[in-house]
Every structure is written in structure tokens, then in C-alpha cells.
Amino acid sequence: MTNNVQYNRKLGIFLIIIASMFTAIGQLLWKLSNGSFNIMLIIGFLLYGFGAIFMILAFKYERVSLLHPFLSLGYVISIALGFFLLNEAVSFTKLIGTAVIIVGVLLVGGHDD
């Protein structure tokens, strides 16, 4: 199968990071809705949907194998949101895990093949 797609790495990475941010914030709003059907839940679904749209757009500009590791940055964003907005504890183990995720993203998705 021949692939004649013109890649734009910077745009693809930018869009996938935006997708990770939208999905993480959407999930935060689901949490803040307390399981009730309210404005937080609705906005959370909208942001999560926007995250999916940005993800689709990102895959138009770069290979899945390069971009998909960047989605794990959503875990990093979620830990930061939990810490700063929900006063959740972040243990040393979570910090190490977060660092491993960031290093993994850089190693797997941050270089040319």
C-alpha cells in the first residue's frame, strides 16, 4: 500500500496535545458534575468531543505511531488538574510515573525514524 500523504509533524503534534488537553479537562468536568446531569457534565462531553475532533485532525497530519504516544500526556494533565483543582495528593511514585510518561513520549514520539 502506497501512502502519498504529506506529513506536517509540528501541526500533528500540536493538535494531538490539544486533543489530550480537551479530553483531560472534559473528564475533570465529569468528575465535578458529581454524577448529575448538569452544565459541568454537558461542557465535559463537549470538550471530550472536541478532543476527539482534534485527534482526528492530528492523524491527518502525522503517523499514528508517532502521535498516539502523545495522548498519554492526558494522564500528566489529569494528575496536574487533580493536584491544583481538586487538592488531590501526588505521591513521589506518581511523580516518577509522570516523569516516565513524559520521557516515554519523547523517546517514542518525539524523534524521526
Gyration radius (Cα) of the chain, Å: 16
Query: For position 6, what pLDDT does the model report?
Result: 75
Query: For position 75, what pLDDT does the model report?
Result: 96
- What is the rounded CA–CA span in Å between residue 113 and residue 103? 17
Copy the grid coordinates of residue 4: 502519498
> With a cut of 70, which residues of the chain have pLDDT below it?
1-5, 110-113
Q: Which amino acid is at 104?
A: G
State the Cα angle at 46 between 44 and 50, rounded to 5°: 115
Identify whether the C-beta of residue 16 lies closer than 8 Å to the C-beta of residue 66: no
Query: For position 7, what pLDDT does the model report?
Result: 85
Count the helix, strand and coil residues of the chain and give each as a percent rounded to the nearest 5.
80, 0, 20
* pTM of the predicted structure, to 2 decimals: 0.89
Query: For position 79, what pLDDT does the model report?
Result: 97
Identify whether the C-beta of residue 26 lies closer than 8 Å to the C-beta of residue 44: yes
Copy the grid coordinates of residue 37: 446531569
